[in-house]
Amino acid sequence: MTFDIITIFPNFFESPLREGVLGRAIKKGLINVRIINLRDFTTDRHRTTDDRPYGGGPGMVMIPGPLKEAITHAKKDDKDATVILLSPRGEVFDHEISRELSKKEHFILICGRYEGVDERIVKAFVDMELSIGDFVLSGGEPAALVIIDAISRLVPGVLGKEESAKEDSFATGLLEYPHYTRPREFMGMAVPDVLLSGDHKKIEGWRRKEALKITFERRPDLLKRVELSEEDKAFLEELKRKNR
C-alpha cells in the first residue's frame, strides 16, 4: 500500500513515520510513504504556493498550479490512485471508512495550509474529502497522519497476531473494557477479583458487560450499530432500568 503526501512541510512527517507500528510497517515494506514537497512543483523564483483570495477576506489560498503538477507526478505510474483532501468539511472518518479504504492500494493525500486549496483542484482531482473530526487544524498534515495510521493497521502483517485480535474486538463496535496489569493493588485500588479467577468464560462475560456498560454511558449512539446477543440486550435493559 502506498501513501503519497503532498505538503509544504515535508519534515513534519519524519519522526511519526519512524516510530512504533507504522515505523515497523514501513521498514518491512508493507507500507510505502512518499513525501512530496509541494514547493518542488512551483515555477517562480519565490517558490510560491499561495495567493490572496478572489473576493477578498482574510488569509491566503493554495494556488492550483503546483498542486496540479504534484498530483500528476504522484499519479504518473498509477492513474487509479485515490486522491484525498484533508478538510474539516469532508466526510467524518471512522473505522468503517478505514475498512473500506484498506482495500485500496494507492492514496494521494493533499495537506492544505492557510485557508485551504483553490476549489478547482477539488473539482478536477479530489476523489474524496475526509475530516478527522469537527475541529479546525492549522494544516491537513496531522489529519493525514491519523488516516495513514488507521488504514495501515488494517493491512495484513502490519499488526502482530496479538494486536490484530485486538483490532477485531473493535469490530464489535463497542468501547473497550477496562484493562489491568500488575501490581494487584495500586493506591488502595484492587484489580477486580474475576480477572484473577483463571475462569476464562467468566472473564469474557465480565469484559463484555463492562464494554456494554461503558458504551451505554459514553456513546449510546454506537449501540444502534452493534450486534447484540439476547444476553447483551437483557443486560442493557437492566442498565436502562437502573438509570431511570
Residues that bind ligand 4H3 (CB under 6 A): 86-88, 112-113, 115-116, 131-133, 135-137, 139-140, 143
Dist CA 42 CA 61 (whole Å): 15
- Closest-approach residue to ligand 4H3 (CB): 112
Nearer to ligand 4H3, 59 or 160 (CB): 59
C-alpha dist (Å) from residue 164 to 1, 21, 99, 155: 18, 12, 13, 10
Nearer to ligand 4H3, 67 or 86 (CB): 86
Provide the minimum distance between the beta carbon of 140 and ligand 4H3 in the complex, in angstroms, as a whole number: 4
**Is 238 annotated as catalytic?**
no
Provide the minimum distance between the beta carbon of 86 and ligand 4H3 in the complex, in angstroms, as a whole number: 4
Task: Could you list the beta-strand ranges (E) of the chain.
Answer: 2-7, 32-37, 50-51, 61-62, 82-92, 106-110, 128-131, 185-186, 189-190
Catalytic one of 4, 64, 118, 153: 153
**Is 153 annotated as catalytic?**
yes
Angle of helix 141-152 versus helix 20-27 axis, rounded to 10: 70
Provide the minimum distance between the beta carbon of 85 and ligand 4H3 in the complex, in angstroms, as a whole number: 8
Catalytic one of 94, 115, 199, 231: 115
Dist CA 181 CA 191 (whole Å): 8
Dist CA 109 CA 126 (whole Å): 9
Provide the minimum distance between the beta carbon of 62 and ligand 4H3 in the complex, in angstroms, as a whole number: 7
* SS3 label, residue 120: helix
Nearer to ligand 4H3, 40 or 91 (CB): 91
* Closest by CA position to 59, among listed 110, 13, 115: 115
Residue numbers annotated as active site: 88, 115, 153, 168
